[in-house]
Amino acid sequence: MTTQERANKDVIHRFIDEFVNEQNYALVDDIFTEEYTRHDPASPESESGPEPWVESMKGLHRAFPDAAVHVGELIAEGDLVSFEGTLTGTHRGAFRGIEPTGTSIEIQGNAMHRVRDGQIAETWATWDFLGLLTQLGVVEPWGSER
């Protein structure tokens, strides 16, 4: 692994640890490029600039104040850093119109980030939001009888 790939991994660790898990939104200008783009099937279209992502994270943290991403494998190659992880939290606030249930959730996800000059420029992410909705009781578990 090159020195740059190690540095890119450090950027992603900082993003997860400080921005996501510690909810330190003040880091937005340090962590993301101005033209940051996020590709996520949970969003109807790609988000441009870091602001929509910050607002999404604030909404997630209002609904799941103890939300945390636990990184499993993290791999860097060139300017790309990918990881698989687990998101945990407790549903304490409204989430996308779903009133709080007090339910503890755990979902799996994957993300790939393009790092440029020490900042995240682009993200491709998929998280198991169907699993989240199932755990919250909004969707019937797959294969259950009605």
pLDDT tens digits, one per residue of 84-103? 999 999 999 999 999 999 99
Mean pLDDT along residues 55-75: 96
Cβ proximity of 135 and 128 under 8 Å: no
pLDDT tens digits, one per residue of 9-42? 999 999 999 999 999 999 999 999 999 999 988 8
DSSP state, 44?
A: S
Q: What is the CATH number of domain 3-135?
A: 3.10.450.50
DSSP state, 142?
A: T
DSSP result, 52-118: HHHHHHHHHHHHSTT-EEEEEEEEEETTEEEEEEEEEEE--S-BTTBPP---EEEEEEEEEEEEETT
Instruction: Say whether pLDDT at 141 is over 90.
Output: no
Cβ proximity of 93 and 62 under 8 Å: yes
Separation of alpha carbons 62 and 42, rounded Å: 18
Instruction: Say whether pLDDT at 65 is over 80.
Output: yes
> Which pairing describes strands 119-127 and 32-39: parallel, antiparallel, or unpaired?
parallel
Residue 115, token pair as written in the block: 């790092």
- In the chain, where are the structural domains located? 3-135
